[in-house]
Structure 1
Amino acid sequence: MTNSQDPAESKYWVKSVARAADILETLATAEPDRGMSVTEVARNCGIAKSATFGMLQTLRAYGLVSDDGEGMSRRYRLGMGLARLGDRARSQVSLRTVAHPVLRELTSLTGMASRLAVPEGGHAVVVDQVETDQRIRLDLRMGQRELPHCTGLGKALLSALSPAEAALVVERFGLPRRTARTITDPATLLAHLRDIDRIGYALDDEEDAEGVICVGAPVRDHLGGCAGAISITGLKLGLPAWRYQELGGQVRDAARRISEGLGQETKATAEDSVSEAIPQPVPPQAPQPSPQLASQAAPQPTEQPGSQPSSHPASQPSSQPIPPPAPQSSSQPSSHPVAQPAPQPPSSPAQQPPWVPDPRDTRQDGGSATGS
């Protein structure tokens, strides 16, 4: 028996209809070009052979079952009438109808505005949204076209394309800079899209607008194609780093529910990779000192004439390789023009690439207001 509902759960349960549904489900498991005999169907469904034969003939009359052969060699399989009904069923399913209840739940769960977008001409066009009841609201508009390379919706849709298709979109529309955190290098963006496809959600961390984050995930139809994308949008102020992964998982799960409503048989690949972090895409336009120059910047002990060698550990040269200096301000200005860059505020957004937190590294604080 393959029915998923216990007859005791509903007083309107019709046993004969349930048996007919079980027969169809059983025939769906038959090997291609082989079908099943009436004996096999009866055994799998737990129904008497005579009753099974009668139901098969009734379903056959409606085109829901077809048969081949005669007598003992007769085999049954699903009929093309089911394909016709399936096409009609899909035509009656609206993406907005399926997605809107999920968007309401997502907004209630996260406290952020949620949106639904469909791909159109390389951009993400918003077709539905659910606002929050908070006093401060973002200016989110229906019909708005989202850029593909720097928004949660846009990157979610791009990640669902093949690398060649995504490269064509990038070549056509370019990578205009919206903020200091926008990815403007094609190779960096394409590598970032592969990470998004693996983890199951995209993060816009102030890449489209300063102080605003957006988490998006693609929605797929019954054929596995990208039907659209959903996202949540909110202010970054005060958002702790650990919330990034949590919000990403919630958006990804909501997108999966919508995909199931569209007929897709979802796989748990994204959930299995939840422990993997999307690497930080470092825009190549930020110059980095070479390791050779950085190693020359390592402090070397000096001896003054007549002075005694110091026993302080800091005066001993390190035996470990000297990593390139981090781009952060120093309390002591250096005379070396390369090893010691000019002091800059650690909160400058230009020094923090678009980022999805590594759940295994609690030291990262890109999601908090104090670390940005």
Structure 2
Amino acid sequence: MTLTQLVVKNVPKALLHIAEGFRRRFPGLTVVGITGSVGKTTTKDYLGAVLDAFAPTVVSPGNLNTVYGVPLTLARLRSNTTLAVVEMGMQWAGEIASLAKVAQPKIGVVTAVGPAHLEFFSDVRAIALAKAELLLQLPADGAAVLPRDCEYFPLLAERTPCPVVSFGLTTGNLRADDVRPYPGGNRFEAVWDPPEGIPGGPERFEVILPTPGTHHVLSALRAAAVALVLGVGPEMIAGELAGARITPLRGEVYRRGSITILADAYNANPLSMSAALETLAGLPGHFDERRRPRLAERRVAVLGDMLELGPTAPRLHESVGAEAAQRGIEVLVAVGEFAQDIARGAREYGLGNIHVASDRHEAWEILKRILRPGDALLVKASRALRLDLLLEESELEGLFPTK
């Protein structure tokens, strides 16, 4: 068998060049570019579910959001494709600009701006400027979907050459009203007041999400905002969000024996850690016969290192431990190089039941000793720690008690 090979000096640059040429074959394609410090993949998942029911759509698989992933996503385009949802990640300034130049988005979404990848940036404002590279590439007849509650909203908005659609839990052109728990997820009213330059009138519609946590409400709002801009009706948006499936390990909730598991172990930074702890703090252990939420017996958080934070890492890990204590988490298992920093922050705010592990193997032994029937368990860390393996079938035998 013969195999055609392209030998190049720079593989990422060559891939981007090929993808840019291929993208030009689809002049009628509408691309939605999604970037941000947290929530990119879940926003992509929700939006993909909605748009796929609306028109032929290509969506970034998994989290293929790099100089390798974006070309591979565009390679999925076909002659009948009318919409594409392209996730865009970054580690340095200029990376989003190069991805946007290739994908040519008409709509840009910045999910949030926070202290992720600080190892490669001077401060969070520099991260905001790097995210804004997506907005600078948008056409005048496009739209930018931006977080109204973000400190850097003005910075992002002033760099946008097209109408700005804002979103937020309580403020913005699209906001969530009356957010409340629902078996397996959340229920809320989406309130839409389109800005000048965006067609259509005000709307109000109920949304039921299959996953808990206000961070998933925000992801759904971002997706709904894009869909509304594209002319998708509220009924279709609500219906597809209710049935959407998110990428594994991004906030899934399920039962294992008598334990409720919040599996959010794909990756971690300070923003996503805070969102996961908030979700754990309010996570129902079960719903009673009248569908009322009942809290778990104890909330157990297994928290590992957040990588790529540079010199700020010890302080930011301490703050995560402090938030765990402030959220009322009863048991903390801190894992990894920064475990002592997490533990210190929790201890300073009064959490007493703290365990420290050097790796997931030690964490597993600790969990075998401490887990009780009725507990709710969160597992979260940067991907390199592979704490997700704690939740795989090969690790489960004897770990989760039954009543």
TM-score by length of 2: 0.27
Q: Which has the larger radius of gyration?
A: 1
TM-score by length of 1: 0.29
Task: Give the structure with the larger strand fraction.
Answer: 2
